[in-house]
Chain A
Amino acid sequence: DAKTTQPNSMESNEEEPVHLPCNHSTISGTDYIHWYRQLPSQGPEYVIHGLTSNVNNRMASLAIAEDRKSSTLILHRATLRDAAVYYCILRGRIYGGSQGNLIFGKGTKLSVKP
C-alpha cells in the first residue's frame, strides 16, 4: 500500500477553519484518497474520499493537488466535537475480491481550543 505522511498533531480554535495536510507522493493512478477520523474511545469514522477532483460533503471538503501527490482535508468551522485523530489513507479500487483494505497510519491528532 502506498504511504502517506501527516503531521503528528495540530491545534485549532473553535469555529475557525482547519486545514489538515497529507502527502502521498507515491500514489498510483487507481488509488483513492480516503480520510477517516477517530474520536476518543470510538471506532474510526468515515469523513470523505476522492480520486482527482475536489470533493465536498456535510462533514468536510477534500482538496486534491493537481498531481495528486498531496491533499488537504478542510473542516470549515471546527467544533470541540471535531477533536480527533484524522487519518489520510490511500485505498485501491474495489472490484470482486480485491478490496484495497484501509491501512491506518498514525494520523494527525487535532486539538480544538474553545
Chain B
Amino acid sequence: KQEVTQIPAALSVPEGENLVLNCSFTDSAIYNLQWFRQDPGKGLTSLLLIQSSQREQTSGRLNASLDKSSGRSTLYIAASQPGDSATYLCAVEVRGGGSEKLVFGKGTKLTVNP
C-alpha cells in the first residue's frame, strides 16, 4: 500500500527566506507526483505536476524535484512572501486495475511572517 509522508507538518519562516518542503512515498511505482496548495476553508489548487520520467518542474518561484528511486520529492519556494502562507500537499498517482488514484500526504502548513 502506497503511503505518503510530508515533513515537517508545520513550518514558520520570516519573509524572504528560501525554503524546502519534503514529501516521501513508500512505493516507487508512481506515474506522476503533484503538488497542491490549500488556503484555509478552500479547495486544492494544483501548483506543479512532475511526470515519473521527469526530474523537476518549475513555475515562477516554485521548483519541484522528483527522485523516484529514493521515493522523495521536494518543493522549493524561493524568496518566500506572506501570501505563500498555506498548506502544501503532495500526492502521488497510482494506477491499477484500470483505475487511477491519488494518494495524499497530510500536508505541511507554511506560515511566512512579514
Same complex origin of A and B: no
B interface residue numbers (CB < 8 A to A): none
